[in-house]
């Protein structure tokens, strides 16, 4: 399962330039403990739990041992609430844990989202892949994909909960689903509107940049666009005892909900099963992180994943991204950055069946030696900021296919030009 774990420590990026978030900061949610769900003020707890920031490298936990938590953050992104507890749990250092419970996936059956199948060769081997849209090597079509947007409230068995509020509108109104001026390898790669100003959706621009040799040769008319989302009512997911908990508060009064990845993936599968297979289903949570084992915070760090399931109504695909406050995740992977990572990967590998030559990258050691066509994994924490929201740089097709020269815009190997050559083998 292409369930991605995110590294969010700026110091581990090496020579990669990391841009920081603007305008989000520490005032993006409300924490309450033990009473007053979603209200500001000061409340008291008899115990705290202390994970720290979501970093891949060892670090000193940032969560305090004090009994009093101040809940004075502006209600702009979401709400977190925890009940009073009689005991505390102090954890060790937090590290991510890659989560891929299955790789062999069922065949794609209609109906489903619009996709094409193609292949490339390297080292005498052919690698087939499927991606969203039409084949950019030969097509000039614009593909539209319907989107069902599901905000999620997470309820823990002890009464703790979190859910997005302002993050809903900020995400649906973001570059992920709307045209904006976007600095991806120069203006020519973006989609022209009315022949004058140049704008693009995030995912569309990353794809056009990746396949620019073919897109430009065909008149630069090829696009893949996500339709304006249809937002559902708040969906409640109740996490049973033994599958999740919470940690906090941190030094800024924030809490994080943690769930076991395997259980959570199955739960999302059950939700998406009743929705239209012709739409991309997007799940949004607030300050929720996936874990291999929620009782061991060193296994936590999943800020989102994309997945699929097949039933009699078709092949369903979806992406989950958690809106993470910078106090929880650091400034390198906050707000819309996790969702941008997952949307880009879903566009390139919606059915989890794309295999590429094995690669690794020193700046992202958590992925080890990977054979997955996951465009966000090589560049976690490499972001750009538009209108105060963060979006991730993504690796181009040529980086995975080991093409020289690259077919990407200006011969680059990533949308921002961060990667300058193809993937190293392992």
Residue 208 in domain: yes
Locate tokens 């940032």: which residue? 62
The parent domain of residue 302 ranges over: 10-411
Residue 135 in domain: yes
Task: Provide the 3-class DSSP secondary structure of residue 271.
Answer: helix
Residue 416 in domain: no
CA within 13 Å, CB half, 391: 26
β strands within 72-196, DSSP E:
78-81, 89-90, 115-122, 125-132, 142-145, 147-156, 161-164, 191-193
Mean pLDDT, rounded, for 219-232: 95
Q: Is the pLDDT of residue 9 over 60?
A: no
Q: Supply the pLDDT for residue 99.
A: 56
pLDDT higher for 368 or 54?
Answer: 368
Reported as a single tens digit per residue, the pLDDT across 372-426 is 999 999 998 888 888 889 999 999 999 999 999 999 988 999 988 899 999 999 9
Separation of CA 422 from chain center: 23
Q: Supply the pLDDT for residue 182.
A: 66
Q: Supply the pLDDT for residue 426.
A: 95
Residue 340 in domain: yes
- Which residues neighbour 233 within 8 Å (Cβ) at sequence distance 6 or greater? none
Q: ∠ CA(395), CA(412), CA(209), 5° rounding?
A: 70
pTM: 0.82
Q: Supply the pLDDT for residue 41.
A: 27
Query: What percent of the chain is modeled with pLDDT above 70?
Result: 73
Average pLDDT, the chain: 78
Residue 348 in domain: yes
Residue 313 in domain: yes
Residue 299 in domain: yes
Q: Dihedral of the CA atoms 342, 346, 350, 351 (nearest 10)? A: -20
DSSP code string of 131-157: EESS-TTT---EEEE-EEEEEEEEEET
Q: Supply the pLDDT for residue 87.
A: 44
Q: Supply the pLDDT for residue 385.
A: 87
Query: What percent of the chain is modeled with pLDDT above 90?
Result: 58
Reported as a single tens digit per residue, the pLDDT across 181-201 is 765 554 334 443 333 334 789
- Report d(CA 390, CA 174) in Å as an integer: 10
Structure confidence at residue 327 as a pLDDT band (50, 70, 90): confident
As for how many domains the chain has, the answer is 1
Q: Supply the pLDDT for residue 365.
A: 85
Q: Which range among 105-109, 112-116, 177-181, 300-304 shows the weakest confidence by mean pLDDT?
A: 105-109
Reported as a single tens digit per residue, the pLDDT across 233-290 is 999 999 999 999 998 887 778 889 999 999 999 999 999 999 999 999 999 999 999 9
Reported as a single tens digit per residue, the pLDDT across 56-114 is 322 222 332 222 232 323 348 999 888 875 344 434 333 444 555 444 566 789 999 99
**Sign, Cα dihedral of 341, 343, 344, 348:** positive
Residue 2 in domain: no
Mean pLDDT, rounded, for 132-141: 97
């Amino acid at each position: 399962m292409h369930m991605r774990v995110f590294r969010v420590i700026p110091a581990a990026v090496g020579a990669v330039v990391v841009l920081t978030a603007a305008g989000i900061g520490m005032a993006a949610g409300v924490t309450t403990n033990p009473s007053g769900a979603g209200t500001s003020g000061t409340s008291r707890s008899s115990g705290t739990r202390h994970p720290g920031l979501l970093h891949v490298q060892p670090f000193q936990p940032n969560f305090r041992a004090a009994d009093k938590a101040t809940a004075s953050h502006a209600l702009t992104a979401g709400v977190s609430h925890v009940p009073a507890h009689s005991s505390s749990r102090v954890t060790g250092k937090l590290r991510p844990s890659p989560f891929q419970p299955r790789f062999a996936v069922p065949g794609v059956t209609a109906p489903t989202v619009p996709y094409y199948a193609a292949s490339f060769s390297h080292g005498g081997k052919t690698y087939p892949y499927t991606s969203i849209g039409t084949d950019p090597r030969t097509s000039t079509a614009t593909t539209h994909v319907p989107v069902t947007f599901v905000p999620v409230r997470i309820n823990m068995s002890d009464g703790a909960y979190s859910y997005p509020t302002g993050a809903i509108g900020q995400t649906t109104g973001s570059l992920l689903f709307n045209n904006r001026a976007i600095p991806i390898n120069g203006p020519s790669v973006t989609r022209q509107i009315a022949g004058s100003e140049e704008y693009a959706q995030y995912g569309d621009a990353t794809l056009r940049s990746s396949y620019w040799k073919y897109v430009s040769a065909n008149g630069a008319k090829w696009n893949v666009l996500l339709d304006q989302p249809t937002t559902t009512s708040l969906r409640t997911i109740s996490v049973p005892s033994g599958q999740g908990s919470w940690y906090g508060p941190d030094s800024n009064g924030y809490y994080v909900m943690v769930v076991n990845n395997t259980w959570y993936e199955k739960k999302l599968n059950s939700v998406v099963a009743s929705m239209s297979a012709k739409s991309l289903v997007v799940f949004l949570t607030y300050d929720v992180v996936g874990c291999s084992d929620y009782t061991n915070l060193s296994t936590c760090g999943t800020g989102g994943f994309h997945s699929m399931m097949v039933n009699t109504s078709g092949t369903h695909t979806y992406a989950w991204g958690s809106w993470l406050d910078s106090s929880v995740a650091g400034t390198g992977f906050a707000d819309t950055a996790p969702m941008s990572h997952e949307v880009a990967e879903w566009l390139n590998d919606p059915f989890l069946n794309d295999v590429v030559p094995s690669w690794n990258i020193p700046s992202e050691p958590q992925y080890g030696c990977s054979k997955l066509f996951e465009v966000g994994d090589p560049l976690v924490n490499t972001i750009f900021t538009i209108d105060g929201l963060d979006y991730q740089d993504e690796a181009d097709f040529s980086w995975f296919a080991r093409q020289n020269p690259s077919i990407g815009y200006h011969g680059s190997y990533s949308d921002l030009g961060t990667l300058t050559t193809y993937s190293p083998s392992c």
